[in-house]
Amino acid sequence: MKKIILTLAIFIFAGSPAWALTFDFSGTSVNGIGSATMEILISGNTLTAALNNTSPTTTSTDGTNIPGITGFGFNLTNDPLPGLTSWSFAARDSNDDEVVLDASGTGEWVLDTEYKLEGQTFDIFPNNDNDGVNALLYNPLTGLPDTDGSKTNYFTTAILQIVFAEAPGFAYEEGISPYIRMQRVGDGAEGSLKLFGIPGDDNGGGGGFEVVPEPGTFILFGAGLLGLGLWGARRKS
Given this model, what pLDDT does residue 237 score?
A: 54
SS3 of 129, please?
A: coil
Q: Per the domain annotation, does 90 fall within a domain?
A: yes
Which CA distances in Å does 80 have to 48, 76, 121, 175? 20, 10, 11, 23
Q: Per the domain annotation, does 228 fall within a domain?
A: no
Q: Per the domain annotation, does 233 fall within a domain?
A: no
Q: Per the domain annotation, does 230 fall within a domain?
A: no
d(CA 53, CA 142): 10
d(CA 24, CA 218): 30
Q: Is the pLDDT of residue 158 over 70?
A: yes
Mean pLDDT value across residues 196-206:
72
d(CA 43, CA 3): 30
Cβ-contact 5, 198 below 8 angstroms = no
Express as a percent the part of the chain with pLDDT over 90: 58
The total number of structural domains that make up the chain: 1
Mean pLDDT value across residues 206-214:
48
More confident residue, 16 or 34: 34
Q: Which domain holds residue 66?
A: 16-217
Q: Per the domain annotation, does 75 fall within a domain?
A: yes
24-69: per-residue pLDDT in tens? 999 999 999 999 999 999 999 999 999 999 999 999 999 999 999 9
In terms of pTM, does the model score above 0.85? no
Given this model, what pLDDT does residue 113 score?
A: 79
Write down the mean pLDDT value for the chain: 81
More confident residue, 146 or 223: 146
Q: Per the domain annotation, does 163 fall within a domain?
A: yes
d(CA 55, CA 11): 45
* 44: CATH: 2.60.40
Q: Per the domain annotation, does 227 fall within a domain?
A: no
